[in-house]
């Protein structure tokens, strides 16, 4: 079980189950929504994702039909993304987790979009698009 919270602490979550396909995403959308060089995301089962407190404080931005980025309306912390094409999964922003995880990132993605000032020095595989096993997710 994992636990997490937004920056202000009004939204708290619990995850019962593992985190799959963790990646560092360098696409311009993740950079803009996080305000950082990249966002670290992983998939969790919606069935094991529990909003313990602050459900009413979660807002969303629908970036494309059926694709929503959910955030805390108080502190603007990104929490998760949902996609109507895969309703059983949520894409979690790992920065909100308060507990250590056992899973590890598998790759850096969208390297052709990375910030010009990001001097990445990592040993993970790098791709110009999605990591091959994530196609269609």
Residue 110 lies in a domain: yes
CATH of the domain at 7: 2.170.150.70
Residue 137 lies in a domain: no
Rounded CA separation 137/132 (Å): 11
pLDDT of residue 122: 64
What stretches in the chain show pLDDT beneath 50?
none
Report the predicted TM-score, pTM, of the whole model to 2 decimal places.
Answer: 0.85
Residue 130 lies in a domain: no
Domains held by the chain: number = 1
Rounded CA separation 107/125 (Å): 5
Which residue range is the domain that position 14 belongs to? 2-119
Beta bridge partners of 92: 42, 80
* Alpha carbon distances (Å) from 21 to 18, 68, 91: 10, 19, 10
pLDDT of residue 57: 98
């Amino acid at each position: 079980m994992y636990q997490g919270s937004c920056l202000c602490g009004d939204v708290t979550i619990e995850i019962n189950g593992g985190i799959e396909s963790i990646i560092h995403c360098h696409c311009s959308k993740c950079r803009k929504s996080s305000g950082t060089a990249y966002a670290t995301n992983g998939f969790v089962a919606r069935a094991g994702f529990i909003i313990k407190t602050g459900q009413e404080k979660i807002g969303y931005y629908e970036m494309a039909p059926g694709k929503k980025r959910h955030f805390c309306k108080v502190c603007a912390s990104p929490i998760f993304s949902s996609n109507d094409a895969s309703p059983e999964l949520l894409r979690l922003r790992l920065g909100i987790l308060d507990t250590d995880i056992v899973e590890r990132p598998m790759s850096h993605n969208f390297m052709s979009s990375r910030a010009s000032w990001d001097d990445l020095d990592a040993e993970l595989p790098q791709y110009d698009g999605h990591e091959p096993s994530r196609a269609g997710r």
